[in-house]
Amino acid sequence: MTSHITVVGSINADLSVRVNRHPKPGETIFGTGGSISPGGKGANQAVAAALQGAKVAFVGAVGNDTYAAPATALMVAAGVDMEGVDTRDETTGLAVITVDADGENSIVVVPGANADVTAACVDAHAETVRTADIVLLQGEIPADGFEAAVKHATGRVVVNLAPVIPVPQAALLQADPLLANEHEAGLILELLGHPAEGEPEVMSAALVDAGFASVVLTLGGRGAIVATHDDVTHIPAAHVTPADTTGAGDAFAGALVARLLAGETLIDAASHAARVAAYAVTGAGAQPSYPDLNDSLPEI
């Protein structure tokens, strides 16, 4: 297979509703929408990378239900190789997403078939992982599936441990880079037994000191930080008016690995990823909001 990225991760159907504000505990409010769109951190990142010109293969699972087709529609349309996607006698992963008037979201995820992306599942598709130049992982599959993917990887491993789940430390430290937001960075430091405190620059440097070869810390509208053993570099954000932040971090991750596959430096790849993420927040939903190579990205 030619140079490519293999994403080992989750596939979800996203049920999205819009509200003026998020409900308080015990409160019922009215919303609009209720549409189903494709999602899941793994699927989102695969689509984002493919739309940025990368060849992408996927290892994961969907259910034997009506959600499977809409959940994978944009992956197929983007040209993602789906040979590694198994169909299980289970429901497809489901995310219930609520977006308020400011574009901020809250998300509840039902794993469904994603819980079956175990070591046995990944082992069955070991060749797809082994031949990849970059293996991209998140935290929406079981820890033993995560560990198996790292074990089979012979190329670069990029990890966006979102959500932060307990995974074997030796596997996690293979990430180059580790990609996280501020909240996740603190949880990962705690997971590794280190203090989780300080400004983003301090936390990114602490993660490098903890054993990561490189770290990319995303800061939303404040841009991102790239940290290595040599330096800590701030990546400015493009200024846009957000409509929906759903999947913006995944857009960043997919664009980042696409540019790394193309041979760019980590700083240049992160700068491009920041522009792709900024474009994504101006549209609704996750995958439907992602740009391709023909779209004009906002300037930094």
Annotated binding-site residue? 60: no
Annotated binding-site residue? 249: yes
Annotated binding-site residue? 103: no
Annotated binding-site residue? 41: yes
Report d(CA 293, CA 196) in Å as an integer.
Answer: 38
Annotated binding-site residue? 220: yes
Annotated binding-site residue? 43: yes
Dihedral of the CA atoms 294, 270, 153, 140 (nearest 10)?
-90
Annotated binding-site residue? 246: yes
Annotated binding-site residue? 2: no
Catalytic status, residue 250: yes
Picking from 75, 13, 44, 14, the residue whose alpha carbon sits closest to that of residue 277 is 44
Annotated binding-site residue? 181: yes
Cα 217 versus chain centre, distance: 13
Report CA Rg, the chain: 18
Report d(CA 62, CA 116) in Å as an integer.
Answer: 9
DSSP, res 160 = -
Annotated binding-site residue? 13: yes
Annotated binding-site residue? 42: yes
Residue whose token pair is 């197929």: 76
Sheet with 56-63, side-by-side order of all strands: 81-88, 56-63, 5-8, 134-137, 156-159, 178-181, 214-218, 224-228, 232-235
Asked if residues 172 and 159 have their Cβ atoms less than 8 Å apart, the reply is yes
Annotated binding-site residue? 244: yes
DSSP E strands: which ranges in 111-236? Answer: 134-137, 156-159, 178-181, 214-218, 224-228, 232-235
Annotated binding-site residue? 63: no
Q: Which of 133, 144, 250, 295 is catalytic?
A: 250
Annotated binding-site residue? 250: yes
DSSP E strands: which ranges in 160-272? Answer: 178-181, 214-218, 224-228, 232-235
Catalytic site residues? Answer: 250
Q: Which residues carry a binding-site annotation for substrate?
A: 12-14, 40-44, 140, 250
Q: Which residues carry a binding-site annotation for K(+)?
A: 244, 246, 280, 283, 285, 289
Q: Which residues carry a binding-site annotation?
A: 12-14, 40-44, 140, 181, 218-223, 244, 246, 249-250, 280, 283, 285, 289
